Structure 1
């Protein structure tokens, strides 16, 4: 891979990818996640700034991604878009498919808490972040706890389809129970899992948002076609963003449930 000099100066971690063929690039699950865990807990400002501060922890993760090793988290550019959606639509229950190291779960939990500070039913706000890999999930759980968000954010370990069915059977997710669904796991599973949520009735709420990451790179064409041709979604659109670190353009696909005939 090749990068502009200015990009490498801003994100020196990308130097590891220079002259590596794109098909040989490893982006995750190679030990960097454990290195990130040590990086955060060896941070000189761990107790004075990071502990209990979602914003500071996310900034430290961004610093690691820029200086040490690329992370497949959503990064600050797309994070700003997601926070804007949360502030506008004010979800109480958000489900995330693909927790990875907990970056977005921390972001979502913090944003939802911020808009519900005076809500008498604050205990009803919840972020379920579903992750297949138990080791990666344990790292995410650790960071969620460090951020002081364990009362809002729950990292749930297991395959996405099985976990969605289990949460539904346990009545932890009920019909119309999801206000926002963030799809960010395996692109080939996007369409399957959104259809499953529909079949379980979890998206049966007017105004419910379904947001999918990486629909351009690596790409999720079947999912994109499905949501854009689905009459249940009143509107579906793309928002361009950058994969951080690196000036690589990507897109968030945002779909909103329209009027529901009951």
Structure 2
């Protein structure tokens, strides 16, 4: 009887150990699968623009906003206010680039394509420039720092929160005397530029707002006689997220001479490009 009890206990122990082993194997398999999926997702984020934007703009940003009860754009501004040098546009740009490359991705033109923007502005030396899509004010600061005395940048932003943040960013950078921020939809503001804002023609236009507005607003600029012979448009993100209608329109229009500048999506290794279009009149 005693031997039987021991034997039964031993069998039960073996069965229990086997079950535990099987459970451990299943757990290890699940962990392995999760790690593999995580690794695959990390690779996708680095190489695939769509996956990267889904992660940064939808998943990560929404979670962080909820936890901190604060928008990403406000966090960018606060980081600049705490770490950049007041009145120094280059310090402001470098601080934004640091935040967006190390902490949270954001849709600024960035430091890589920013060089293309710089060279274009320096080449044109505009007296009157227009930016469509201010966001947090990064590119407005970048453009304004290169403008000569008496020159002006008009920058258009539809989102009231972004406009408020950009205004503080521009003032902190010390370029507020060269920048006029216009809040509202581009299709409403563009027809007002001549009468309300006393614009004759534009020397330079930086196009970096809603991608489906690129083509319509380019057409609107022509209809409102805001482009002169030699006016230059520079459009960002023509590959990713992409502006196919704009590219098709501008490259097939004999009134524009186009050049493409291959580059990368801001703060990523995802292929992108900028399109430069010179208005021939």
TM range, normalised to the smaller chain? Answer: 0.7 to 0.9
Alignment match of 1:130 (pick from 142, 156, 160): 156
1 or 2 for the larger relative contact order (CA 8 Å, sep ≥6)?
Answer: 1
**1:54 deviation in Å?**
0.4
Label 1:23 to 1:99 Cα distance change in 2 as closer, same or farther (>3 A): closer
Distance in 1 (CA, whole Å) between partners of 2:262 and 2:51 is 25
Alignment match of 2:80 (pick from 40, 53, 58): 40
2:224 is aligned with 1:200: yes
Distance in 2 (CA, whole Å) between partners of 1:71 and 1:22 is 11
SS at match of 1:42: helix
Alignment match, 1:55? 90
Whether the aligned pair in 2 keeps the contact of 1:27 and 1:72 (CA below 8 Å) is no
2:119 is aligned with 1:84: yes
Give the aligned CA root-mean-square deviation in angstroms: 2.2
Greater fraction of residues in helix? 2
Alignment match of 1:111 (pick from 137, 142, 146): 146
When the two structures are superposed, what TM-score results if normalisation uses the length of structure 2? 0.76
Distance in 2 (CA, whole Å) between partners of 1:98 and 1:79 is 15
Q: Which runs of 5+ in 1 are unaligned?
A: 5-13, 117-121
Distance in 2 (CA, whole Å) between partners of 1:69 and 1:164 is 32
Q: Which runs of 5+ in 2 are unaligned?
A: 1-40, 63-70
String of CA shifts for 1:21-44, please: whole Å, max 9, x gaps: 45733438851111111112222x
SS at match of 1:154: strand
Alignment match, 2:57? 27
Distance in 2 (CA, whole Å) between partners of 1:244 and 1:22 is 11
Question: How many equivalent residue pairs?
Answer: 230
2:274 is aligned with 1:239: no
Whether the aligned pair in 1 keeps the contact of 2:240 and 2:265 (CA below 8 Å) is no
**1:171 deviation in Å?**
4.7
Alignment match, 1:11? none
Distance in 1 (CA, whole Å) between partners of 2:99 and 2:53 is 24
When the two structures are superposed, what TM-score results if normalisation uses the length of structure 1? 0.82
Label 1:148 to 1:228 Cα distance change in 2 as closer, same or farther (>3 A): same
